[in-house]
Amino acid sequence: MHAIAPDAVAAIRRFNRFHTRWVGALGGSLHGSGLSLTEARVLYELAQDDGWRAAEMAKALALDPAYLSRILQRFATRGWLGRSRSAADGRAWRLRLTAQGRAVFAALDQASDAEARSILARLAPVEQAALVGALDTAQQLLSGEAKASPKPLIRAHRAGDIGWVVAAHGRLYAEEYGWDESFEALVAEIAAKFLRDFKPGRERCFIAELDGTPAGSAFVVAADEETAQLRLVLVEARARGLGLGKALVREAIGFARAAGYRRMVLWTNDILHAARAIYIAEGFRLVGEERHRSFGRDLVGQNWELVL
């Protein structure tokens, strides 16, 4: 068992109170249907499958069998529910909604859909996406379901990406290395020059995207006619362990070769151990280093080179 923070307990209880009120669980008529939240859920399940048996449904919905039996009896009395003998087990009854029962469900389903749409209409598209992502994450965490492995992709930059590169570098290096704002200023200068002097076919910004949002970057810029420079290689903490750093560097090297460069150079600092390991693995060699005071820290800068 993991340690449990009191604030987390309070947060879950607070959300439970909000959610039960929000979905109408405290009232006795969901969307004015005259059905309680439990009755509406039973009706929903019956509409999805004509083969339910009462015992199976009670177990699936964690309902007391006697309580479920009373709900089913009310549905049958209203003409919403029919029963038939199970072909596999003559002692068991299969449950199915009648045409009248399906009509009742259709009206309830439309009302529920309309309510969801009215809620989403109040949110901007980016807020809708954030809400959907948060709900998916909550469901995955609370259910214990295994989360599907994210599938990152690497693409060329588009509008808005360069601003993200600057912000991500400033934030990440401040959080992980304590570098000051002068580093973010340097990144902004490099990024602005890339956009202002961009040379199609000779320069490229690669963006790694994970779950639909940027998670990494690598730039190839022209140092001279024969030399490409690798700059601004970064992978967000949430995307580490997926091989994105190596993939970005390999994309950059492949682009430089295809563009006709004869060598690639880069400048880094010796404390960036993960990045240096990638450069070494891809064949870069250290050609020089010097101590310097930058970004509010004493650092050792390194120059690396790769013959293409």
Place of tokens 């890339």: 194
Share of the chain above pLDDT 70, in %: 94
- Nearest residue to 155 (alpha-carbon basis) of 89, 92, 214, 111: 214
Rounded to the nearest 5 degrees, what angle is found at the Cα of 126, between the Cα atoms of 120 and 131?
55
**What is the rounded distance in angstroms from the CA atom of residue 67 to the CA atom of residue 162?**
59
According to DSSP, the residues that pair with 305 across neighbouring strands are 265, 285
**What is the rounded distance in angstroms from the CA atom of residue 145 to the CA atom of residue 270?**
41
Domain 153-307: state its class: alpha beta
**CB 268, CB 284: distance < 8 Å:** no
Alpha-helix runs per DSSP H in the chain: 6-22, 37-48, 54-60, 65-77, 99-121, 125-143, 161-177, 181-196, 244-258, 273-281
Helices (H) and strands (E) in the chain, counts: 10, 9
Burial category of 268 from C-beta neighbours within 10 Å (exposed 0-12, middle 13-18, buried 19 and up) = buried
Question: In the chain, what are the domain boundaries?
Answer: 6-143, 153-307
- What's the pTM value of the predicted model, to 2 decimals? 0.59
Q: Could you give phi then psi for residue 35, rounded to 5 degrees?
A: -105, 140
Whole-number pLDDT of residue 24? 66
Mean pLDDT for 113-136 is 86
Q: What is the DSSP letter of 237?
A: G
Residue 192's SS3 state is: helix
**What is the rounded distance in angstroms from the CA atom of residue 20 to the CA atom of residue 100?**
29
Pick the CATH number of 6-143 from 3.90.1150.10, 1.10.3720.10, 3.40.50.620, 1.10.10.10: 1.10.10.10
* Residues 194-234: tens digit of each pLDDT: 999 999 999 999 999 988 899 999 999 999 999 999 999 99
Task: Give the total residue count for the chain.
Answer: 308
6-143 and 153-307: same fold? no
* Residues 186-195: tens digit of each pLDDT: 999 999 999 9
**What is the rounded distance in angstroms from the CA atom of residue 94 to the CA atom of residue 200?**
66
**What is the rounded distance in angstroms from the CA atom of residue 250 to the CA atom of residue 244?**
10
* Residues 241-282: tens digit of each pLDDT: 889 999 999 999 999 999 999 999 999 999 999 999 999 999
Residue with the bigger pLDDT between 19 and 219: it is 219
**What is the rounded distance in angstroms from the CA atom of residue 30 to the CA atom of residue 229?**
63
Residue 77's SS3 state is: helix
> 3: which 2 tokens?
């340690």
